[in-house]
């Protein structure tokens, strides 16, 4: 048994009531100005005001193996990034130049670029190269405070390549000190060989890919890019119903560019989360609230596509629990940085720093169905936490363009950064 005591920390953490924090509770964060955190065998044992925690240690006669003086640093739960496409072969810089010159994102895709050019790259890459590239990004994210990450397939778009991506994703999770949640996104685009026959591709997903993913047990979620010119509402419903029957949980890319009604479909199917939502209607936001669907918002995508940000305040006022994610991908959001996402949410979407903290920790864990283990510092959960060089989580928005994350602890062990604050 190893016991570690982190003292002299300003602890900020949502406490998990057993459901995501929505509406007025979105920013309900527990603060201990002079706090202490006791970690036993990689799990949170106790946290609270230093005097109370120390008193209990003395009373219980517990032996402390290591004591870390946080010197007043801010201590928060590790970030959970609930929406990424980090498994890809290489970035698409030339496409970024095209977008800067005014070509719309969906037009590039319609012409066979965008996602489809990443599909060509992934199909051509060796499994070892894809693994190395994915590992690098996950390590970058870890250094920036991400201790749990979702990663989607979706650049294979044929059964063997999709399964290969999911194998790589699983392997990254086994090899790195990061919890990785795998999502099957065969419905990311219609591949070139099915151009003109999208229903034929949907049939392949339903009849071949989903059964194969189920048999190998290598995905927890199924996601669909429900968007004009990509997958319609009817096609999305068909794929997600098949996925549910195969035991997968549901997410969708909803109303990212056009209001197709994806948010409403997420409510109808009681998906775990609906993601993007830049163009979601008031009516469908209300339906999400009723159905208990988490909104995963991706402000770095709005930034990169130069689109208006999702209406986070409206969602919070409507009682929808809001999570935040990087959407890290080579097209619409090339960043692994949750501090950047946090800053955009505070400065551009008007979340308070404490609302944003809940969004990158507890609500994000609910968006991935892993809140039983991570997302807050409730006793019994994994001791995944960060030290920030600042007095409160607001430093993540305030100290812009740099990372105030000085130490990243995964299951109580230093996984990135430095022990000495």
Binding site for ligand NIG (CB under 6 A): 85, 114-115, 118, 225, 253, 256, 301, 327, 329-332
- Taking CB atoms, the residue at the shortest distance from ligand NIG is 331
Indicate which of Fe ion, ligand NIG, none lies near residue 32 (CB less than 5 to 8 Å, by partner kind): none
Q: Which of 16, 121, 255, 327 binds Fe ion (CB under 5 A)?
A: 327
16 or 256, CB closer to Fe ion? 256
Query: Least distance from C-beta 276 to Fe ion, angstroms?
Result: 7
| Host H or E run for residue 385 | strand 385-388
256 binds Fe ion per the rule CB under 5 A: no
For β-strands 221-226 and 146-152, DSSP reports them as unpaired
Indicate which of Fe ion, ligand NIG, none lies near residue 386 (CB less than 5 to 8 Å, by partner kind): none
3-state helix/strand/coil string of 8-66: EEEEEEECCCCCCCCHHHCCCEEEEEEEEEEEECCEEEEEEEHHHHHHHHHHHCCCCCE
Among 354, 419, 409, 416, smallest CA distance to 382 is for: 409
Number of residues that bind Fe ion (CB under 5 A): 1
Query: Least distance from C-beta 239 to ligand NIG, angstroms?
Result: 15
Cβ contact 27:352 at 8 Å: yes
Indicate which of Fe ion, ligand NIG, none lies near residue 81 (CB less than 5 to 8 Å, by partner kind): none
* CB hemisphere CA count around 45 (13 angstroms): 21
Query: Least distance from C-beta 83 to Fe ion, angstroms?
Result: 6
Query: Least distance from C-beta 253 to ligand NIG, angstroms?
Result: 5
Query: Least distance from C-beta 328 to Fe ion, angstroms?
Result: 9
For β-strands 29-40 and 3-14, DSSP reports them as antiparallel
- CA separation for the pair 396, 347 (Å, rounded): 11
Query: Least distance from C-beta 256 to ligand NIG, angstroms?
Result: 5
- Taking CB atoms, the residue at the shortest distance from Fe ion is 327
Indicate which of Fe ion, ligand NIG, none lies near residue 45 (CB less than 5 to 8 Å, by partner kind): none
242 or 300, CB closer to ligand NIG? 300
Stretch that binds Fe ion, among 59-67, 236-244, 320-328, 398-406 (CB under 5 A): 320-328
The residue behind tokens 């999570």 is 323
- CA separation for the pair 264, 408 (Å, rounded): 38
- CA separation for the pair 144, 127 (Å, rounded): 26
- CA separation for the pair 222, 229 (Å, rounded): 20
Site residues, Fe ion (CB under 5 A): 327
């Amino acid at each position: 048994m190893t016991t570690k005591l982190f003292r002299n920390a300003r602890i900020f953490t949502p406490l998990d009531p057993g459901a995501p924090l929505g509406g007025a509770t979105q920013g309900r964060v527990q603060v201990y100005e002079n706090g202490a955190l006791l970690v036993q065998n990689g799990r949170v044992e106790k946290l609270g005001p230093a005097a109370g925690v120390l008193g209990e240690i003395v009373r219980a006669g517990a032996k402390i193996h290591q004591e870390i003086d946080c010197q007043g640093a801010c201590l928060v739960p590790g970030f959970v990034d609930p929406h990424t496409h980090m498994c890809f072969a290489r970035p698409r810089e030339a496409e970024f130049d095209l977008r800067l010159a005014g070509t719309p994102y969906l037009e590039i895709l319609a012409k066979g670029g965008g996602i489809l050019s990443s599909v060509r790259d992934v199909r051509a890459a060796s499994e070892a190269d894809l693994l190395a590239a994915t590992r690098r990004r996950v390590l970058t994210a870890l250094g920036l405070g991400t201790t749990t990450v979702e990663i989607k397939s979706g650049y294979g778009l044929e059964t063997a390549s999709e399964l290969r991506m999911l194998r790589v994703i699983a392997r990254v999770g086994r090899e790195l000190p990061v919890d990785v949640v795998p999502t099957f996104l065969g419905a990311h685009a219609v591949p070139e060989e099915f151009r003109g026959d999208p229903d034929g591709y949907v049939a392949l997903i339903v009849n071949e890919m989903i059964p194969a993913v189920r048999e190998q047990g290598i995905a927890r979620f199924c996601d669909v890019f429900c968007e004009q010119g990509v997958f319609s509402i009817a096609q999305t419903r068909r794929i997600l119903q098949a996925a549910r029957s195969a035991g997968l949980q549901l997410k969708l890319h909803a109303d990212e560019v056009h209001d197709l009604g994806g948010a409403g479909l997420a409510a109808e199917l009681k998906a775990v989360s609906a993601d993007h939502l830049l163009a979601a209607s008031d009516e469908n936001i209300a339906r999400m609230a009723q159905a208990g669907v988490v909104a995963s918002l991706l402000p770095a995508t709005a930034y990169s596509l130069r689109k208006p940000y999702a209406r986070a305040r409206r969602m919070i006022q409507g009682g929808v629990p809001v999570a935040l994610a990087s959407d890290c991908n080579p097209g619409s959001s090339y960043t692994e940085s949750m501090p950047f996402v946090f800053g955009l949410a505070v400065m551009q979407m008007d979340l308070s720093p404490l609302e944003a903290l809940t969004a990158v920790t507890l609500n994000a864990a609910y968006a991935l169905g892993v809140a039983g283990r991570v997302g807050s510092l409730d006793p019994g959960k994994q001791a995944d936490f960060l030290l920030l060089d600042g007095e409160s989580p607001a430093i993540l928005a305030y100290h812009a363009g740099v990372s105030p994350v000085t130490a990243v602890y995964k299951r109580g062990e230093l996984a990135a950064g430095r022990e000495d604050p």
